[in-house]
Amino acid sequence: MSVIRNQLHKGVKWTGISTLIITTVQIIQFALLGKLMSISEFGLVGMITTIVVFAQIVLDLGFGTAVIQKEAVSARVLSSLFWLNVVVGIGLFVFLFLFSPLIAMYFHRSELIDLIRLLAVMFLIAPVGQQCQYLLQKELRFNLLGTIEAGTTIISFITMVVLILTISPIYAYVISQVVLNSLKGLLYFICYQKKWRPSFVFDLSECKEYMAFGAYQLASRLVNRIGSNIDVILIGRFMGAEALGIYNLAYQIVTIPVLKINPIITRVAFPVFSKSHQNQDLLTDGFLHMTKLLSLVSFPILMGLTAVSNVFILTIFGEKWLDAVPILQIMAVVGILRVLMNPNGSIILAKGKANIAFYWDAAVLIVYSVSLWLAVMSNNLEVVAWTYAGVSLVNFLVGRWLLNWLIQLRFRQYLKTISVPFLLALLITTIAFCLKKISILYFHQTSIWPLIFSVGISAVVYIFLLWKMYPHFFLKIVKKQIRGQTS
């Protein structure tokens, strides 16, 4: 096994455990909010989530990737970046507090004013842990990172459940997000105190190299997030909160695997790739291995969703959300393409090409914006979803060309890597669809049994197929368990 593969597996183990916990909690939270909130309130969640995403990118300033990518960072530079993060956090709080009426006016929802101002509080606390989080990631200490993230997610969820008993669900959700991000920042800071703590140094002249790299990364991430959230921005503005609520439900269901499962590997991959950025063969081997791992996990989930989407929506969220079924099926295509595109960034940044990421994301933003604006004008959510899928396909193909240029990754080699995961997922999707059809002959669609029957048996079959296809992997797990019990 190559060095990159070994380091990926070690990081993936700890990140995977924490992500499993976080994803489980968030799915339960997601289902609870879907049950308790109206469709338009759920649209507000989409608007708030988009605001948080952009604010967190600005807070980072692109320094996170710069700190991880550089081999050595001085204590003076870290202290300067720490205080810069704190200042930016205060600036974000002031900005969101003052401009919340304008944001609310854009979305035609006056209740957003108080919600945004409440949310802004977290930017006064969260920045204290930014640099410590980057350093933990740079040192591949994913066990500690995972423990903090899983623990704070559970505390945040408990906070929301308790608050729902006394206040409206939307306010309970916002307060839980403040608790989540503030507590994470404080714990990162506390847990790294033994190795480093900021001194009263603020010298931007020593940070020029990091600011240059970070500027491209900040611009790239902002452009990328505008592109990936332009649908929410446009639907919320021109089609209203209810349409956004339906779209946001489908979008969140699809992106939970993408946003939660992908970082298990991509978060580990960037610091690992950065240590071997001059070895093309190692990078190519690591990238293909990472792509296979992502595909084996994400493909069956996303493709399987298309087979059981109607019983899934009815069982988990209720009949009021049935309009989200066709949107969910279309957005699964977007999810698959995003799974395959996400690892690109790890390679681009590991090669120190933050400028290329920016130019690429800027071009994609233009295409996405124009296409989705035209689609939104149709006032039809299915047209919007299909347009998103089509443009994502174009973006995916351009990404393959870029990887060929950066690490000489051949397209045939890439297709061979994802072919087995795709065929396995296609088989499981067919089995799940047939089992669903059989089960609804005996149980009502709103009953949980058709969902359990189709998903449960399909999952068992898939694990069995993986065991037959990759027996060495399962054998390695068994040996580790035996060694753990005998030690």
Q: What is the pLDDT of residue 17?
A: 73
pLDDT digit string, tens, across residues 203-261: 777 777 777 767 777 777 777 778 778 888 899 999 988 999 999 899 888 877 666 66
Q: What is the pLDDT of residue 204?
A: 75
In the block, tokens 């976080």 appear at: 22
The pTM (predicted TM-score) of the whole model is 0.76
pLDDT digit string, tens, across residues 374-398: 999 999 999 999 999 999 898 888 8
Residues 36-64 have a mean pLDDT of 85
The answer on pLDDT for 479 being more than 80 is no
The answer on pLDDT for 46 being more than 60 is yes
Q: What is the pLDDT of residue 431?
A: 94
Domain ranges in the chain are: 3-486
In the block, tokens 């240029």 appear at: 405
The answer on pLDDT for 5 being more than 70 is no
